[in-house]
Amino acid sequence: MNKVILVLVTTILLTGCAINEKPKDDTIVISEENDANEKKINRDPNETELVLEAGYFNHIKDVNGLLEIQNPDNTLALVNKDFALPGDYVPEDLIRPDVRFIFGNEDVEKSYLRKEAAEALERMLQASESDGIYLYAVSGYRSYKRQDSILQAEIANIGEEQALQAVAFPGKSEHQTGLSMDITSESAQFLLSEAFGETDEGEWAKHNAHRFGFILRYPKDKEKITGYQYEPWHFRYVGEQAASIMYEKNWTLEEFFQHVKKI
Task: Report the sign of the C-alpha dihedral through residues 158, 159, 165, 170, in that order.
Answer: positive
Q: Of 260, 136, 133, nearest to 208 (Cα)?
A: 133
Q: Of 97, 49, 53, nearest to 75 (Cα)?
A: 53
Task: Report the sign of the C-alpha dihedral through residues 147, 153, 154, 159, in that order.
Answer: positive
The neighbour count for residue 156, using CB atoms within 10 Å, is 10
Sheet containing 261-262: which strands, arranged edge to edge?
11-14, 17-23, 48-52, 261-262
SS3 51: strand
* Residues identified as active-site: 231
